[in-house]
Amino acid sequence: MGRVDGRVALISGAARGMGAEHARVLVDEGASVVIGDVLDDEGAALAAELGGRARYVHLDVREYAQWETAVATSLAAFGRLDILINNAGIVRSAPIDVHPVADWDLVISVNLSGAFYGIRASAEALKASGHGSIINVSSDAGLQGYEQITGYNASKFGLRGLTKNASLDLGRYNVRVNTIHPGLIRTPMIGGLDFPQNHVALHRLGEMSELSSLVLFLASDDSSFSTGAEFVADGGESAGLAHY
């Protein structure tokens, strides 16, 4: 018996990286998944790998109509939608005094507006589920400042506000809404970046599976009394600086 048997999840940005890992774990635990991304070849390949309980749909999270199509795909293919994971995210780096305005607009539209669009488009289906769970993927950059990632920092803090609001508006329908806050995780987003993590309590990067286990907890009824909350998996990065 899986921990999310019979549940259906829609995951944005799931063609690769952590989103793909979450899809694999949820299917392993009995769920069906709709994989949304702009990387059509990778997304279709992942759906084929996962088999009959997976579908791929082209989903640019900046396009509200594509969210509506993704939700409709979930209902048509699997008859319901229980879990929304707003995972799609991008980062652009530059000091704030020279940060390109277009980069700010792009990062906010993907990371923050995209998550609102996802919640807005899936709210009715999640309410109908009777035990909906929305997981908004923030970051340690949603808890503290980092140099040169102005839009990313602001968007990841913004997801916390969106989460508090949505948890209040949707709680009466037993739809729970939480954020997760990964530290530095070995995914394509960070490329080959593998510098020492001696400033972090656990002194290492995180692995994707270490976030998927948190996502599984929040997606399942194991977290049935948690909403509007922030769940950190960062090796202690936000606890303070390790010096030795």
Looking at 4, 9, 47, 88, which residue binds ligand NAD (CB under 6 A)? 88
Q: Is residue 129 a contact residue for ligand NAD (CB under 6 A)?
A: no
The window from 56-64, 124-132, 143-151, 223-231 that contacts ligand NAD (CB under 6 A) reads: 56-64
Closest C-alpha among 142, 141, 151 to residue 94? 151
Cβ proximity to ligand NAD: between 59 and 83 the closer is 59
Binding residue for ligand NAD, selected from 26, 33, 54, 61, defined by CB under 6 A: 61
In angstroms, what is the minimal distance from the CB of 171 to ligand NAD?
24
Can residue 19 be called a binding residue for ligand NAD (CB under 6 A)?
yes
9 - beta bridge partners? 33, 83
Contact 31/219 with Cβ under 8 angstroms?
Answer: yes
In angstroms, rounded to a whole number, what is the distance separating the alpha carbons of residues 19 and 12?
Answer: 7
Q: Considering the complex, what minimum distance in angstroms separates the CB of residue 31 from ligand NAD?
A: 19
CB atoms within 10 A of CB 110: 22
Minimum CB–partner distance for residue 172 and ligand NAD (Å): 28
Residues with Cβ within 8 Å of 44's Cβ and at least 6 positions away in sequence, in order, are 56
Among the listed ranges 23-31, 32-40, 96-104, 219-227, the one in contact with ligand NAD (CB under 6 A) is: 32-40
Angle at 195 between CA 193 and CA 196, to 5 degrees: 150
C-alpha to C-alpha distance for 144 and 168, rounded to whole angstroms:
24
| SS3 category, 96 | helix
The answer to whether 111 touches 159, Cβ cutoff 8 Å, is yes
Question: Partners of 176 in the beta sheet?
Answer: 133
87 vs 133, beta carbon nearer ligand NAD: 87
How is residue 242 annotated by DSSP?
Answer: -
Q: Could you say which of 56, 64, 117, 152 is catalytic?
A: 152
- 158 binds ligand NAD per the rule CB under 6 A: no
Residue 152 is a catalytic residue: yes
Whole-number Å distance between alpha carbons of 131 and 133: 7
C-beta closer to ligand NAD: residue 62 or 204: 62
Closer residue to ligand NAD, CB minimum distance, 128 or 233: 233
Range in contact with ligand NAD (rule: CB under 6 A) among 25-33, 119-127, 160-168, 188-196:
188-196
Q: How far apart are CA 141 and CA 199, in angstroms?
A: 16
Residues labelled catalytic: 152
- Can you give the binding site for ligand NAD, defined by CB under 6 A? 12-13, 15-19, 37-39, 59-62, 87-90, 110, 137, 139, 182, 184-185, 187-190
